[in-house]
Amino acid sequence: MTVSTPGSAWKIAADVLDPELPVVTIADLGILRDVTEDDQGRVHVQITPTYSGCPAMETISADLVEALTTAGYQHVDVEFVLAPAWTTDWMSEEAKVKLAAYGVAPPGPVALVLAVRCPQCGSLDTRESSRFGSTACKSLWVCGSCREPFDHFKAH
């Protein structure tokens, strides 16, 4: 397959799903920073991890290389960019809606969090059970109303 339209590398990269939260893309999360391509089929992609040491970055890098080479790009280079540090402010509103529908409470503004709205029943009668949830970028919460545990994507 040959790539035919300029700028298509960005679209292909933007559609790569996050391996830990497969309902959102890396563009939704705001970790896709830049994509450049040249007329020789070379693509350079810059991504920023949600936190230092995020184990999903290697998988995301491999998924980017696979998606872009499958689309016909001859050489794909993925660079991890650590500065500026990623913040939940880079996450799209669409990502927050997708996370809530998936059962993960999306981040709110960076502030002291006293309660998080339960993504199952909508109650604010919730409490943090563990600072770390299924991944280090999420914390584990429990709803006092429906009694269901849920992940909360930490704001930072």
- Same domain, yes or no: 52 and 19: yes
Question: Which pLDDT does position 55 carry in this prediction?
Answer: 86
Question: Which pLDDT does position 3 carry in this prediction?
Answer: 47
Inside any domain, residue 63: yes
What distance in Å separates the CA atoms of residue 149 and residue 141, rounded to the nearest whole number? 6
Inside any domain, residue 118: yes
Q: What is the pLDDT of residues 97-141, one digit of tens each?
A: 999 999 888 887 655 567 788 998 999 999 999 988 877 788 899
- Phi, psi of 19, deg, nearest 5: -70, -25
- The boundaries of the domain holding residue 67 are 8-80
Domain count, the chain: 2
Residue type for 125, please? D
Q: What is the pLDDT of residues 68-94, one digit of tens each?
A: 999 999 899 999 999 998 988 899 999
Inside any domain, residue 138: yes
CB 85 within 8 A of CB 54: no
* Residue that is written with structure tokens 């998080």 in the block: 116
* Residue that is written with structure tokens 């080479």 in the block: 69
**Two tokens at 87?**
């913040």
Model-level pTM?
0.75
Residue 46: give its domain's CATH number. Answer: 3.30.300.130
Residue type for 142, please? V
80, 109, 128 — which closes off a domain?
80
Determine how β-strand 138-143 pairs with β-strand 126-130: antiparallel
Question: Which pLDDT does position 109 carry in this prediction?
Answer: 62
Residue type for 38, please? D
